[in-house]
Amino acid sequence: MPSVSQSPKGPPLLSLGIETSCDETAAAVILREPDGTGKILSNIVRSQWNDHLPYGGVVPEIAARAHVECLDDLISVALKEAGITLDDLSCVSAAAGPGLIGGLIVGLMSAKAIALSKNLPFIAVNHLEAHALTVGLTQGIKPPYLLLLASGGHTQLLLVHDVDNYTRIGTTIDDALGEAFDKTAKLLGLPQPGGPAVETQALHGDPARFKLPRPMRGRQQPHFSFAGLKTAVRQRATEIAPLTETDIQDLCASFQAAVVESVQDRCMRAFEIYEDLMKERLEITGKIFVIAGGVAANQKLRGSLEELAQSRGFTLHAPPISLCGDNAAMIAWAGAQRFALGLNDDLAAPARPRWPLDQNAPAAIGAGVKA
């Protein structure tokens, strides 16, 4: 297969992307130049947080219905902002998984309808691949690189060899990191999504007040675990209840400090694995470390991973904060990158609620369904 990173080709592409895998409805248009660089022409995101607020988490049926209600309008706005019509498009993409099946079907059906009616190539994009490739759109970073992908549903360390070519070297054996932030926020009475709420509280808290575990530290394989950490927060909170504002701030800061140290340790192990790989595969010359996914918006994590990367001679790249969370620009970009390689999909492509990036990765020992 020709490599997108080595041999960019073809005319400029105008790519429409649609994202409906969870609780953000999004549509975007990007331009992919023949040299493989990209530009965002429009990027419209409607978050459903308020729709789910009374339930303390995302309700799949409410999410799917909310996507149906606004997706057509969002697509129109995205096209208008980009200054184009459907007739100008080169291809259309939608997130086909992993995610909530009802929402995925809404986005896929819209993308397929546009593709069919305008006779356009259609690409069924893996949402995780879209996160993984975002730095190509925003900073022109090309594979190969080491990736920490941390979102609400996944926490993985991956070797990104190229588009469509990934090796998973680490994964969570229980909760995803974003999920741990969300559950911690919930148990402390903070709003969802929990990540930003915990980060804000942590700014004012004492990270050393509560002794919390650093899960998986020192383990040979760079896997993660966050369920026990969240439970430890619950225990400390129960012990000192009723909680004052200061207690909540200190619990958040202590939780975030534990997360950062655990993730740093796991990434250090991944750096060693990557360095060993570089000795075997001489085409890997740069020590590039990328973080992506909603949790990559966390400033403390970004800062500490930047320091860690520098200490080992790696360069850290992360998308701008506004493109760490779910959006459709990343779907449009991943779709364009795949289209440039001829990786189009049939209109029969299904929604895939579970869709690992590395299909050959073995289940991590002790892992539940999320690995």
Closer CB to ligand KG4, residue 5 or residue 225? Answer: 225
Please choose, out of 2-10, 177-185, 232-240, 363-371, the segment that lies near ligand KG4 by the rule CB under 6 A: 177-185
Among 15, 151, 262, 327, binds Zn ion (CB under 5 A): 151
Among residues 148, 146, 11, the alpha carbon closest in space to that of 91 is found at 11
C-alpha count within 13 angstroms, C-beta hemisphere, residue 135 = 25
Of 17, 36, 121, 153, which one interacts with ligand KG4 (CB under 6 A)?
Answer: 153
H/E run at residue 240: helix 227-240
* Residue ranges in 17-56 that form contacts with ligand KG4 under rule CB under 6 A: 22
Ramachandran angles phi, psi of 36, nearest 5°: 90, 5
Asked if 213 contacts 259 with a C-beta cutoff of 8 angstroms, the reply is no
Q: For residues 118 and 328, give the distance between their C-alpha atoms in angstroms, rounded to a whole number.
A: 20
Which one, 199 or 250, has the nearer CB to ligand KG4?
Answer: 199
Contacting Zn ion within 293-332 (CB under 5 A): 326
Rounded distance, CA 106 to CA 19, Å?
Answer: 9
Smaller CB distance to ligand KG4: residue 170 or 194? 194
Distance from C-alpha of 200 to C-alpha of 1, rounded to nearest angstrom: 45
Question: How far apart are CB 22 and ligand KG4 at their closest, in Å?
Answer: 6
The torsion of the CA quartet 219, 224, 227, 229, rounded to 10 degrees, works out to: 60
Q: Report the SS3 class of residue 365.
A: coil
Binding to ligand KG4 by residue 103, rule CB under 6 A? no
What's the CA dihedral at 202, 206, 210, 211 to 10 degrees? 100
Shortest gap between Cβ of 62 and ligand KG4 (angstroms)? 17
Residue 98 Cβ vs ligand KG4, minimum distance, rounded to whole Å: 9
* Interface with ligand KG4 (CB under 6 A), residue from 297, 305, 340, 357: 297
Q: Among 38, 170, 293, 319, which residue interacts with ligand KG4 (rule: CB under 6 A)?
A: 293
Q: CA-CA distance, 127 to 20, in Å (whole number)?
A: 10
Out of 90, 249, 298, 304, the only residue in the binding site for ligand KG4 (CB under 6 A) is: 298
Q: How far is Cα 95 from Cα 125, in angstroms, rounded to an integer?
A: 5
Pick one of 103, 152, 207, 356: the residue that binds ligand KG4 (CB under 6 A). Answer: 152
- Interface residue list for ligand KG4 (CB under 6 A): 22, 151-153, 178-179, 181-182, 193-196, 199, 293-295, 297-298, 325-326
